[in-house]
Each structure stands twice: as structure tokens, then as C-alpha cells.
Amino acid sequence: MSTTRRRPLSRERVVQAAVTIADRDGLEALSMRKVAASLRCEVMSLYNHVANKDDLLDEMIDHVFRQMSLADDGPWQRVLRTMAVDARQAFARHPWAADLVTTRYPGPARRRHMEDMLRILAGAGLPEDVADLGFHALMVHIQGFSQQAAGFAILSTLRADEGARYVASLAAEEHPYLAAHIRYHHERGHRHSDFEFVLDLIIDGLERAPDPGSRGQPARRRTSSASHT
């Protein structure tokens, strides 16, 4: 008779098992039954650690955000760039997360990440409107690029023939620029260097952005005693 003891269930183990399934098979393949099977337990045992599937999804998103670095010391441009690159890499490791994050309320780890990024922008001496819009520009770029990259990878894998036929069917005389753009991505994919190129455009643009409330006049920089200036 085997004396091997099974590791006790915990909230952390349940979340990690769910993340593993989503990473491997996609979020649509995730179910409480599959999580239980991967942990070799009964489905009802999971509910001692997560309230329901929504609770599990919230924890999965926070699991991803816990992998993202928070702000350190240094010039605000470098700090924001590091945070954004690190966030993009976390989404790349978990391709399902960028889609899911747009439909969930922020949990503790995500709130800390958002708070840190907003704090760095506020301490950069930017006009308040520019700081707030800059935050949105950064988050849209991180999440949007991650969503596009994940979707492109799925289409390239599951519908390669269909995608090739679509690219070939584009009439260059009718949509010459769109045809060239789609072929560009079809041949190149979504490279991390592309993400960083646009990221640098955003950060560089924030330094020169006019105050949206000043009708195009040069932005007035507010002074700040924050360390990230």
C-alpha cells in the first residue's frame, strides 16, 4: 500500500493549475473540472479555496500582475519603460491574460501596478491631463499589442491556409496600403522590438505634449517633490 502523501490543496495551487491549463490550451479550455483533474481532486474540493470560477479568473489575472515589476528609482522615462516592457513580457508568457484583463475589476496586484505607474507619471512634472492620458496610452499599447500578438499567433497556427488565402485575395489596386500592411505582419509577425519602438514614441511624446486644456500652448510643467523626476 502506497504511503505517498498528496500535497494539500491551497488557493495558490488551484490558481497555478488554472494558469497552466490556460497557458497550454487557452482560456476557453479552462473549466473547474479540468482544474480538479489536474490536481487529482474532486471538483467540490476546489470551492474550499476559490468561491467560484469568477473568483478563480480574478486570481489568475492577479497572478500575472504579480510577475510584473513595480517602480524603482531613476528617471521617470526609464522607470515607465521598464515597467511597460516587463508587463508586455508577462502578457507574452500568458497570452490569454490581455483579453481577460479588460473584463475584470482590478485585484490587489493589478491595483499596485496601476498605482505605481500613475504615481510615476504624476511625479514627472507633466500636466495632470497629460499624465492621465499618458497612463491610458501606455496601458492601451501594452494590452492592445499583447492582444494582437496573441490573436495573430492563434490565427497563424490554426488557420494558416485561410490566412494565406485572405492575404492573397487583397486587391492591391483597391487597398494598396492595407494589403502591404497585412503582408508586412504576415511575414514579420509581432516582434518585441516593434512593441518597444511604439513605447518609446509614447514616452518621448509625453515629454513634449501640450496641456490638453491649454488650447495647444506649450504644457506647463508642475513642480513635484517626488523622487522620480
Per-residue pLDDT tens for 39-65? Answer: 999 999 999 999 999 999 999 999 999
Query: Quick one: average pLDDT of 133-145?
Result: 95
Planar angle of CA 62, 204, 217, nearest 5 degrees: 115
pLDDT at res. 106: 93
Are residues 96 and 22 in contact, defined by beta-carbon separation less than 8 angstroms? yes
pTM: 0.80
Write out the three cell numbers for 190. Answer: 509581432
Domains and CATH numbers, the chain: 1-50 (1.10.10.60), 69-214 (1.10.357.10)
Instruction: Please state, in angstroms and rounded to a whole number, the distance separating the CA atoms of residues 124 and 225.
Output: 10
Residues 130-139: contacts with CB within 8 Å, 24+ apart? Answer: 130/206, 130/209, 130/211, 130/212, 130/219, 133/209, 133/212, 134/202, 134/206, 134/209, 137/202, 137/206, 138/80, 138/84, 138/199, 138/202
Per-residue pLDDT tens for 59-89? Answer: 999 999 999 998 888 999 999 999 999 999 9
Instruction: Please state, in angstroms and rounded to a whole number, the distance separating the CA atoms of residues 43 and 60.
Output: 18
